[in-house]
């Protein structure tokens, strides 16, 4: 039987699912990323949409290190 690669959500989608950012905030950060480069998580922090702690939490969920839940 052939191994089927697992699809993983993009970090922005994980942060949105956790209700840490909105679709509009993700789109604004993606626009900046297209123009200037950078990592989406860092851009969201720099733009003031999420805190460094929220990014760390979102990254841990994204990597599967912890179970998703709504961050307080």
- For tokens 């841990």, what's the residue? 60
Q: Identify the band that residue 1 occupies on the pLDDT scale cut at 50, 70 and 90.
A: very low
Confidence check: pLDDT of 2 > 60 = no
Contact yes or no for 13/44 (Cβ under 8 A): no
Query: Which tokens go with 8?
Result: 């993983």
Distance (Å, whole) CA 68 – CA 61: 6
- Under 8 Å between Cβ of 28 and 47: yes
pLDDT at 13 over 80: yes
Domain extent listing, the chain: 11-62
**Which pLDDT score, from 0 to 100, does residue 72 have?**
53
Three-class DSSP category at 1: coil
- pLDDT (0 to 100) of residue 68: 80
pLDDT value at position 70?
Answer: 57
């Amino acid at each position: 039987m052939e191994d089927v690669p697992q699809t993983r959500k993009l970090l922005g989608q994980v942060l949105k699912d956790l209700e840490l950012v909105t679709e509009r905030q993700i789109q604004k950060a993606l626009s900046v990323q297209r123009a200037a480069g950078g990592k989406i998580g860092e851009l969201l922090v720099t733009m003031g949409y999420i805190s460094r702690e929220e990014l760390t939490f979102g990254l841990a969920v994204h990597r599967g290190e912890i179970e998703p839940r709504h961050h307080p």
